[in-house]
A and B are shown apart, each in its own frame.
Chain A
């Protein structure tokens, strides 16, 4: 049967009888408009922030400073790409710092370093990213296999990663001696360090996964309602393990970049990075309940967090106040992004 004969079964006037969105009611239009406004709010915040800081200190818009911002955003952006996929499912991933530590440690111990004789060059990068990916795979299996909330599963994996890497490093810092790998942070291409280009590549991969693949659709579907997605034939377990593994791979890349920037790996290489990643995701407008937002939101979120940090340094604000402002920002972001009246219970 062809399309035309099927549609001809009904007279044209009855075909729009059901409330189709092409003729939306005023109320429906208002909620749509309100949602659009909310979706674009982070962009407005970013633009306003840039304008305000530029007025207060014109040095902000100097090329040198913009490069500095891009450089500072590279590792958080790569990390937050991973976290975004997990949060999109309505789960949370706390393992970023542990995974970064594992990746950085694997890298320095397998590449040329001042502690042992190994010199595997780029293979060390591959091993580092895979090791971190394995941590994510572990998180996903713990969460789905043992049916533990992701909060606890990834909290555990965080500390496993931290413990193992500190043990491997023998409690001290090991320096990265491979000049090619150090070059990731030091070599520049079109004024920008390679690490920035790698972070942008990570962003491109993340956009590709979310918007062009079946996996991306399934991740968003699970965030919207896992039980419903399962009824439609989505395999939540497989999707969850895949998402956590992908997150781990992104953390691995971030760990490599962090080690290259620092020129070493130590037990505190991941410190503070988890907060930055989750703040960026949330500030960008991805809902903690899952299903809304995505990697482009996270890009905006990372820029807001980095620009704010950079601006406060330019304005000479005390680092302690900077922390306080970041704390306020994450609360404000969640407060403004949620339709809190609709939440029945807050836990």
Chain B
């Protein structure tokens, strides 16, 4: 039995885990659910030895366990199947399965490839898949790679005498339905030889495969249930854990949209990501998209931002049919993206506020091909005031601003560029409560000015609270549409039913 007792871990001011205790019994499948940032991944990294806790202990069958590396964990029978897969695509299947553990086939530094291939075949046999062990991993489908990864974790069975615990971090987020079923069949049949920890966003899947479920929220374990004694909507409520306050999302300031349609998608699709997407956004309308990881909503927003060219259907912006082939083209057509990763995608962190604000529309501050810095600064000052950006002056580098103010600078840039359509991709991620409220207020103001907004958000309540209309997506398709006028917001459970 693997157990974690009173584990705490913080990263530069953020408490990722607070006094977390979990146990994983022998031959048990334990589910772990929680929203983004709830601390699931941190807990998994601690269990797999890639991070060490600030305080608290791990025990294995009652004996204390100190893990300093993934290798340490492996020695103690703990293997991990990573969310972003950890196979090397340039190696063969057999090489991947035994990478770092070639010891038994190696003599004087020389590898006995034939013995390794034979052993790899035996590992794959354990999960009952037939994959050519001499194939390059890059040539395998995603689902097949997942099986190889599972087989790799199972090699621990031979190299340690400890009971095996396999951590599966969001293994289903990249798999198709049929492959998920295969994976679940394997996990169930492997229960006789190993315990599993299963992390997922999809509550029904967690319930389907687990014996016991832990719910995490804000770095705490907030619930522990037997899987046959709880339902998906119940879990969701515990996971989200707060009631809806209409005031928080400035519902009183929600203005009805105007009739003119700014963006219209008909049968839009990107192969392998989403298909048959129909929707439109009117002037001043906020359309929220709800869906779990893998629903295709992330790809949809990337496609509308010009990062992922559409492969089917049609798109109209301001009534004109367009095909977005690049972000540059999207910006020219008035589509601005406020990306999820402010630090890497949203702002050039070492440039000043003024430079960042005018970046998407340098033409407006140029004279004869030369940037007029006075004009640039005066434009930026104007926005500093209008969006209440807190900064000593416009020459400050953006990396010195708080997250909320950085987000405002991104918004100011798109307003300067004359964007009439904004894609807000998790606009409040990583912001504190006060900064979130300010962003909500800005969303309301922009909407009142007639800007069309497509919203993706971390939480369902935020999506419902801010939007005029909410679309739910599942497995790449829109499954339902909900009107969300002020005072007539749909219930979370109804949305959830269409999402999972």
Contacts of A234 in B (CB 8 A): 99-100
Interface assignment of A272: CB less than 8 Å from any CB of chain B: no
Task: Give chain A interface residues in 1-38, CB to chain B under 8 Å.
Answer: 3, 6-7, 9-10, 14-22, 24, 28, 31-32
Contacts of A318 in B (CB 8 A): none
Interface assignment of B70: CB less than 8 Å from any CB of chain A: yes
Q: How large is the interface on B (under 10, 10 to 19, 20 to 34, 35 or more residues)?
A: 35 or more
| Stretch touching chain B among A97-105, A189-197, A215-223, A277-285 | A215-223
Contacts of A15 in B (CB 8 A): 128-130
Interface assignment of A316: CB less than 8 Å from any CB of chain B: no
- Residue of B at shortest CB range from A17? B182
| Stretch touching chain B among A178-186, A224-232, A251-259 | A224-232
- Residue of A at shortest CB range from B131? A20
Are B99 and A232 in touch, CB under 8 angstroms? Answer: yes
Minimum CB–CB distance for A88 against chain B, Å: 10
Interface assignment of B90: CB less than 8 Å from any CB of chain A: yes
Contact of B128 among A14, A28, A224 (CB under 8 A): A14
Are A22 and B110 in touch, CB under 8 angstroms? Answer: no
Are A217 and B102 in touch, CB under 8 angstroms? Answer: yes
Contacts of A291 in B (CB 8 A): 88, 90
Interface assignment of A213: CB less than 8 Å from any CB of chain B: yes
Complex: A178 Cα to B291 Cα, angstroms:
78
Complex: A17 Cα to B127 Cα, angstroms:
12
Are A9 and B189 in touch, CB under 8 angstroms? Answer: yes
Interface assignment of B125: CB less than 8 Å from any CB of chain A: yes
Contact of B88 among A9, A31, A225 (CB under 8 A): A225
Contacts of B110 in A (CB 8 A): 212-214
Are A21 and B140 in touch, CB under 8 angstroms? Answer: yes
Contacts of B152 in A (CB 8 A): 232
Q: How large is the interface on A (under 10, 10 to 19, 20 to 34, 35 or more residues)?
A: 35 or more
Minimum CB–CB distance for A25 against chain B, Å: 8
Given known pairs A213-B109, A217-B99, A233-B70, the reply for A20 and B130 (CB within 8 Å) is yes
Are A228 and B141 in touch, CB under 8 angstroms? Answer: no
Contacts of B96 in A (CB 8 A): 232
Are B70 and A231 in touch, CB under 8 angstroms? Answer: yes
Interface assignment of B285: CB less than 8 Å from any CB of chain A: no
Q: Is the interface of A mostly helix, strand, loop or mixed?
A: helix
Are B101 and A221 in touch, CB under 8 angstroms? Answer: no
Interface assignment of B362: CB less than 8 Å from any CB of chain A: no
Given known pairs A15-B128, A19-B143, A32-B139, the reply for A233 and B90 (CB within 8 Å) is no
Interface assignment of B86: CB less than 8 Å from any CB of chain A: yes
Complex: A15 Cα to B131 Cα, angstroms:
9
- Residue of B at shortest CB range from A209? B109
Are B130 and A28 in touch, CB under 8 angstroms? Answer: no
Interface assignment of B477: CB less than 8 Å from any CB of chain A: no
- Residue of A at shortest CB range from B84? A228
Complex: A220 Cα to B91 Cα, angstroms:
8
Complex: A217 Cα to B97 Cα, angstroms:
13
Complex: A215 Cα to B109 Cα, angstroms:
7
Q: Would you give the 0/1 interface string for B115-148, flagging 1 where the beta carbon is closer than 8 Å to chain A?
A: 0000000100110111110010001110110010
Are A16 and B130 in touch, CB under 8 angstroms? Answer: yes
Interface assignment of B191: CB less than 8 Å from any CB of chain A: no
Contact of A231 among B50, B111, B125, B189 (CB under 8 A): B50
Are A18 and B88 in touch, CB under 8 angstroms? Answer: no
Contact of A221 among B91, B129, B135, B144 (CB under 8 A): B91
Contacts of A20 in B (CB 8 A): 129-132, 140, 144
Contacts of B143 in A (CB 8 A): 18-19
Complex: A181 Cα to B144 Cα, angstroms:
57
Interface assignment of B71: CB less than 8 Å from any CB of chain A: yes
Contacts of A28 in B (CB 8 A): 139, 141
Q: Would you give the 0/1 interface string for B153-170, flagging 1 where the beta carbon is closer than 8 Å to chain A?
A: 000000000000000000
- Residue of B at shortest CB range from A227? B86
Are B125 and A6 in touch, CB under 8 angstroms? Answer: yes
Given known pairs A3-B122, A14-B128, A19-B144, the reply for A228 and B88 (CB within 8 Å) is yes
- Residue of A at shortest CB range from B88? A224
Minimum CB–CB distance for A158 against chain B, Å: 29
Complex: A10 Cα to B71 Cα, angstroms:
31
Are B128 and A9 in touch, CB under 8 angstroms? Answer: yes
Contacts of A7 in B (CB 8 A): 125, 128
Minimum CB–CB distance for B171 against chain A, Å: 13
Contacts of B87 in A (CB 8 A): 228
Complex: A225 Cα to B88 Cα, angstroms:
7
Interface assignment of B35: CB less than 8 Å from any CB of chain A: no
Contacts of B50 in A (CB 8 A): 231
Contact of B125 among A3, A24, A213 (CB under 8 A): A3
Contacts of B89 in A (CB 8 A): 224-225
Are B86 and A10 in touch, CB under 8 angstroms? Answer: no
Contacts of A217 in B (CB 8 A): 91, 95, 99, 102, 111
Complex: A233 Cα to B86 Cα, angstroms:
12
Given known pairs A14-B128, A20-B131, the reply for A229 and B99 (CB within 8 Å) is yes
Minimum CB–CB distance for B72 against chain A, Å: 10
Q: Would you give the 0/1 interface string for A105-116, flagging 1 where the beta carbon is closer than 8 Å to chain B?
A: 000000000000
Complex: A22 Cα to B179 Cα, angstroms:
18
Contacts of B139 in A (CB 8 A): 21, 24, 28, 31-32
Are A233 and B128 in touch, CB under 8 angstroms? Answer: no
Are A233 and B88 in touch, CB under 8 angstroms? Answer: no
Contacts of A9 in B (CB 8 A): 128, 189
Give the most central of B90, B144, B179: most A CB within 10 Å: B90
Interface assignment of B106: CB less than 8 Å from any CB of chain A: yes
Interface assignment of B74: CB less than 8 Å from any CB of chain A: yes
Complex: A16 Cα to B130 Cα, angstroms:
6
Minimum CB–CB distance for A152 against chain B, Å: 21
Complex: A21 Cα to B140 Cα, angstroms:
6
* Besides the known contacts A19-B140, A19-B141, A232-B152, 17 further A-B residue pairs in the complex with CB atoms under 8 A apart: A3-B122, A3-B125, A6-B122, A10-B189, A14-B128, A15-B130, A21-B135, A21-B140, A217-B91, A217-B99, A221-B88, A224-B90, A225-B89, A228-B87, A232-B100, A232-B101, A291-B88
Closest 6 CB pairs of A and B: A233-B100, A19-B141, A10-B128, A232-B100, A224-B88, A224-B90
30 A-B pairs, CB-CB below 8 angstroms? A3-B122, A6-B122, A6-B128, A7-B125, A9-B189, A15-B128, A16-B130, A17-B129, A17-B178, A18-B179, A19-B141, A19-B143, A20-B130, A20-B131, A20-B132, A20-B140, A21-B139, A212-B111, A214-B106, A214-B111, A217-B91, A217-B111, A220-B90, A228-B87, A228-B88, A229-B88, A230-B70, A231-B70, A291-B88, A292-B90
